[in-house]
């Protein structure tokens, strides 16, 4: 099956905040009501457009794929209450509200980094029993604090540049651990996650205050309790050179809670971009139970 996808840019009010998402649906005229759904959630300082390649692949296999921008990122509203709303608990509430409004009774979840953490919180909590299969991309219930500090160092003070080309070169450097991206994919990553400042310079498209999560919610990513409550099958992808998901944590995930299937992705650090055939097919096979 290879059904062309028709992505739509949509907005909904969730928990009183406007959330933007890309809604990728198969183009079949007589799409069945039971079309399987995947929620694909991006990483900390990124946007839902990072999931374009995965969404196009899965939509081509007959899935409807929902790719939200987290509050404070991309085209979603920035929080007026950053101290309390930039945290996993609120992100999970947004996810549940979005699923409810879209009428998603049961669905799969694919989450990169922070998106995987939100998935763990949801699958072990408010959306337990509704998330059928969970893919966690390069994050675990106990991230390496050294890597968290590294991410905070650039995310909390986003760089600004005179030109889009300079911003693209910055992204190519910062996100080199993503692995292979084509020139066109680097350009899309840049253009879909930038905004222009009042002085005309360009910068990554997120609210710098989102790093308040780490000062106001210092234990936010201690997720073993959430992980232990998950009943859905779990696939954990780990970049071979990842500094965020340590090998010993990934190994422990094999034997605790849902006993995750752990697969190491060669040629990547934090985090695999989910944009090349091997990675796309791996996710697709897991979602079908193969």
* Residue 193 burial (CB count, 10 A): 23
Reply yes or no on whether the pLDDT at 158 is more than 70.
yes
**Tokens in use for 29?**
């005229």
Reply yes or no on whether the pLDDT at 32 is more than 60.
no
Band of residue 2 on the pLDDT scale cut at 50, 70, 90: low
**215-235 pLDDT per residue, tens:** 999 999 999 999 999 999 999
Average pLDDT, the chain: 95
**Sequence-ordered strand ranges (E) for 15-106:** 17-26, 37-41, 64-68
| Helix ranges (DSSP H) in 62-182 | 82-85, 88-101, 114-123, 145-155, 164-174
The whole model's pTM is what?
A: 0.95
Higher-confidence residue of 100 and 26: namely 100
């Amino acid at each position: 099956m290879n059904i062309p996808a028709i992505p739509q840019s949509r907005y909904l009010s969730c928990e009183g905040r406007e959330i933007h998402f890309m809604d990728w649906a198969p183009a079949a005229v007589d799409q069945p009501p039971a079309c399987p759904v995947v929620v694909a959630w991006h990483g900390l300082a990124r946007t839902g457009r990072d999931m374009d390649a995965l969404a196009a692949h899965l939509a081509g296999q007959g899935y409807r794929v929902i790719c939200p921008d987290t509050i404070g990122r991309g085209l979603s509203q920035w929080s007026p209450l950053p101290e309390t709303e930039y945290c996993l608990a609120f992100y999970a509430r947004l996810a549940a509200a979005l699923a409810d409004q879209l009428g998603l009774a049961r669905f799969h979840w694919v989450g990169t980094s922070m998106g995987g953490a939100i998935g763990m919180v949801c699958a072990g909590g408010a959306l337990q029993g509704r998330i059928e299969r969970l893919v966690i991309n390069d994050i675990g219930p106990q991230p390496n604090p050294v890597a968290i500090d590294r991410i905070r160092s650039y995310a909390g003070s986003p760089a600004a540049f005179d030109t889009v080309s300079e911003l693209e070169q910055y992204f190519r450097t910062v996100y080199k651990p993503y692995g292979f991206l084509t020139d066109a994919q680097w350009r899309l990553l840049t253009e879909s996650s930038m905004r222009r400042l009042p002085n005309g310079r360009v910068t990554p498209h997120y609210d710098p205050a989102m790093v308040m999560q780490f000062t106001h919610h210092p234990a936010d990513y201690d997720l073993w309790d959430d992980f232990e409550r998950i009943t859905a099958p779990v696939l954990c992808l780990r970049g071979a050179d990842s500094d965020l998901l340590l090998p010993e944590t990934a190994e422990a995930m094999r034997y605790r809670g849902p006993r995750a299937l752990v697969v190491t992705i060669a040629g990547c650090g934090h985090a695999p971009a989910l944009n090349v055939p091997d990675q796309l097919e791996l996710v697709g096979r897991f979602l079908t139970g193969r």
